[in-house]
Amino acid sequence: MVKFSLYIDEQELELLEDARGKLIKATGVNISRNGYIRSLLFSLFNNESENGSSSPTNRLQTENSP
């Protein structure tokens, strides 16, 4: 397993928790913060490989995206 560090500020943490809470409410499945971040990263990597390098770089474009 390769480890990496992810540093986020309080506002970004609140957005992450809000989006994770919405996903839990929608699916009824409790997901850990690490699991949620992992799923976001994999979905970004998969979208990038399918669509070229058109992944959003603006934080407002990625807010609350499951």
Phi and psi angles of residue 46, each rounded to the nearest 5 degrees, phi first = -65, -40
For the chain, how big is the Rg over CA atoms in Å?
Answer: 13
At residue 22, the pLDDT reads 93
- Look at 61 and 50; give whichever has higher pLDDT: 50
**AA letter at 23:** L
Identify whether 1 is part of a domain.
Answer: no
Structural domains counted in the chain = 1
- Look at 63 and 33; give whichever has higher pLDDT: 33
Identify whether 2 is part of a domain.
Answer: no
Identify whether 22 is part of a domain.
Answer: yes
Domain that holds residue 36: 10-62
Q: Is 60 a residue whose pLDDT tops 60?
A: no
Q: Is 56 a residue whose pLDDT tops 90?
A: no
At residue 30, the pLDDT reads 93
Decide: pTM greater than 0.75: no
